[in-house]
């Protein structure tokens, strides 16, 4: 019976794990009665291998949990960043609108002042013309 290199490597690692569990002492080797029995394969599983597989499964679940929450957190951060950008853009637009409104208000005030000045000038011109007319009538 021949084994592939991968099978030999796997068996070697498993043997090291099991032997270290048994305190590196062959006299304390775990007997089948103390092993787990896999009903689907019909094989005994050394407690060290069983614990290793449990820890490996827990580790993988933790990694999945971390990835999910990291992605979820990143998505939330992305949402918060987008909300912040939207708020900043809205604030900028509001400031820009306010600036335009101030400019428009300033322009409106300037137009009103010019109109008022024109009315005063017209009134002044009308008053001078009336004075000239009175002087002309008085001299004739």
Per-residue pLDDT at 46 exceeds 80 = yes
Q: What percent of the chain has pLDDT over 90?
A: 13
Q: Give yes or no for a contact between 13 and 49, defined as CB atoms under 8 angstroms apart.
A: no
Q: Is the pTM of this model over 0.75?
A: no
29, 48, 79, 127 from 34: Cα distances, Å: 10, 11, 54, 123
Confidence of residue 19 (pLDDT cuts 50, 70, 90): very high
Integer Cα distance of 53 and 62 in angstroms: 14
Sequence ranges of the domains in the chain: 97-140
What angle, rounded to 10 degrees, do the helices at 5-21 and 47-139 form? Answer: 100
Integer Cα distance of 140 and 131 in angstroms: 14
9, 29, 84 from 23: Cα distances, Å: 21, 9, 59
């Amino acid at each position: 019976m021949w084994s592939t290199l991968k099978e030999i490597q796997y068996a070697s690692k498993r043997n090291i794990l099991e032997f270290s569990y048994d305190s590196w002492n062959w006299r304390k080797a775990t007997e089948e009665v103390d092993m787990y029995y896999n009903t689907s394969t019909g094989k005994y599983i050394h407690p060290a291998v069983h614990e290793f597989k449990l820890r490996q499964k827990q580790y993988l679940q933790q990694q999945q949990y971390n990835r999910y929450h990291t992605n979820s957190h990143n998505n939330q951060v992305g949402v918060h960043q987008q909300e912040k950008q939207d708020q900043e853009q809205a604030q900028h637009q509001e400031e820009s609108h306010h600036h335009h409104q101030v400019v428009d208000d300033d322009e409106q005030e300037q137009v009103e002042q010019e109109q008022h000045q024109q009315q005063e000038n017209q009134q002044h011109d009308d008053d001078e013309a009336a004075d000239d007319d009175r002087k002309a009538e008085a001299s004739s």
